[in-house]
Structures are given as C-alpha cells and as structure tokens.
Amino acid sequence: MSIFARNVDTGEAVWVYQMTPFDQWDYDGINEVVLVDMNIDGKDRKTVVHFDRNGFAYVLDRTDGTLLRANKYVTTNWAEKVDMKTGRPVKVPEHSPLKAGGNTQACPSAMGGKDQQPVAVDPSDPTNFYVPTNNWCMEDEPQERSHTQQGTVYVFANVYMYPEKPGVTGKFKKFNVVTGKTEWEIPDQYPNWGGALVTAADWRSTAASAAISVPLTGRRARCCGRASWARASSATRSRTP
C-alpha cells in the first residue's frame, strides 16, 4: 500500500511513498493520514502522519514526500527498522513467510497494530498522538495455490492470531511520532477498534471495546472511569424531555 500526493487541479501524482514493498503479511495499510504542522530537528515542517498496519508510525514532509521519521508504535519484528535513506523496511528473514507449508511467526498480526480506527492529535501539541492499538501477533503458514472460486476468501494461508501478551490485546496510548516514545498507555483485554478523540477542554478518549468508554483528562494517563455504552445511552434517553 502507498500514500500518494496529487495535484488537485491536474490529478498529477506529486510524490508517492510505499510502506511495505512486497507485502508478505497482508499489511495493506488503508489507515487514515493526518495533516499537521510540527517542528522537526529545528525546522518547521508541513507533515503527513500515518500509523500503518505494519507497526510503524510514519512522518513525511507533505510538500515533497521526504521521509522524516518511521518509528515502531507496537511490538514489530517483521522488520528491524526502516532505512531512512531508502525509505524501505529492513526485513527480518525469520519473520518473513515465503515457503509454502512453512510456519512463520510475526508481529503485528495481519489485522495490524492499528487498522481503520483513527488516531487523534491536539494541534497545539502536534508531535503527540493518541492511538488505539491492537496488540497481537500471528503465525502464518502459506499454502500452495490450487484454484479460486467465486465468492470464497482468497487467502491461501493458514493464519493464527494471538495476543502479544496474555490478557492484553489492545491499548490506548500517547505516542510521540518524532521521538518514537510511548509517554503512557492503558492496556485492555480486548482489541481496541474504537477511534480516538481529543478536545480543546483537554480530554482524550477512546472506545476501548464495543461496550467500554475510557475518558482521560490532562496530559497524564489518568483514567477517569469506564462506562457501559448501553447504560450511558439509557441514562441519556431518560434525561431527554
């Protein structure tokens, strides 16, 4: 998967950046891109930030596509790092599925360190992002392709996904995209499929699972409470005239 910058008047591609060349893990990162201005290495930059399914958080100059940062935001072992000169990941062979019938372990899983659930950022603090993550790994066993059948899933691999650590499958974290440091995080036993929200009143929140809301306040990880959406919705309706 690639990020394209296009001239809206002509449709011309200005630049393109590919996150996972020869993708062997199904990290087709359709995740959102966030436009934010920040200072990097003493220089003001107009940037685009992208937390990819492959476990890396990318910061690029949105005017010319220059790669400025590529930091791991979840446990990621399929690549050692991203080469900042070439922009390509430095893959780890033992975590790269190639041989049919061979079993390969890799983190994150094919579902990604983050998928469609969006991150959030406070424009007054542009290097710190609030990220709902899925913290799981996988074992991938490629299969020989025999035939395809209309209406069936086209995978040709046996994939087993499991929590990175027992009892922790998701997190909500404050992550600095310039330093690559996690400033705080709140673990959850379930994958975190809910998007993040930041308000001007200094609240940070996410739906940590299908039925849980985790509001946060201030710059620190101070969890204010967990409430059932069903109960909250019921309470709201009861107060409605």
pLDDT band, very low/low/confident/very high, at 35 (cuts 50, 70, 90):
very high
Whether the pLDDT of residue 204 is over 70: the answer is: no
Q: Which residues of 61-92 are buried (b: 16+ CB within 10 A; e: fewer)?
A: bbeebebbbbbbbbebebbeebeeeebbbeee
Above 90 in pLDDT, residue 136? yes
Which residues, 6+ apart, have CB-to-CB distance to 147 below 8 Å? none
Q: Give percent helix, percent strand, percent coil of the chain, each to the nearest 5.
A: 5, 45, 50
Range 123-146 average pLDDT = 91
Interacting residues of 38 by C-beta distance below 8 A, sequence separation 6+? 44, 45, 47, 59, 126, 127, 178
CA-wise closest residue to 225 among 213, 235, 207: 213
Lowest-pLDDT range, 40-49, 165-174, 212-221?
Answer: 212-221
CA distance 194 to 133: 9
**What per-residue confidence (pLDDT) applies to 208?**
58
Higher pLDDT, 125 or 144: 125
Q: What is the pLDDT of residue 30?
A: 83
List, by residue number, the catalytic residues: 26
pLDDT digits 0-9 by tens, 47-94: 999 999 999 999 999 999 999 999 999 999 999 999 999 999 999 999
**Which has the closest alpha carbon to 172: 124, 110, 125, 118?**
118
- The sign of the torsion formed by the CA atoms of 220, 225, 227, 232 equals negative
Q: Which residues pair with 221 in a beta bridge?
A: none
The answer to whether the predicted template modeling score (pTM) of the entire model surpasses 0.95 is: no
Predicted pLDDT of residue 178 = 98
| pLDDT band, residue 31 (cuts 50/70/90) | confident
Residue 178 and residue 40: Cα distance in Å, rounded?
7
* Per-residue pLDDT at 215 exceeds 70: no
Residue 80 tokens read as: 């050692």
- By percentage, how much of the chain surpasses pLDDT 90? 61
pLDDT band at 238 (very low <50, low <70, confident <90, very high): very low
**Distance (Å, whole) CA 222 – CA 209:** 18
Confidence (pLDDT) at 68: 98
The mean per-residue pLDDT over the stretch 121-144 comes to 92
Per-residue pLDDT reduced to its tens digit, 14-28: 999 999 999 999 998
Output the average pLDDT for the chain: 85
pLDDT at 216: 56
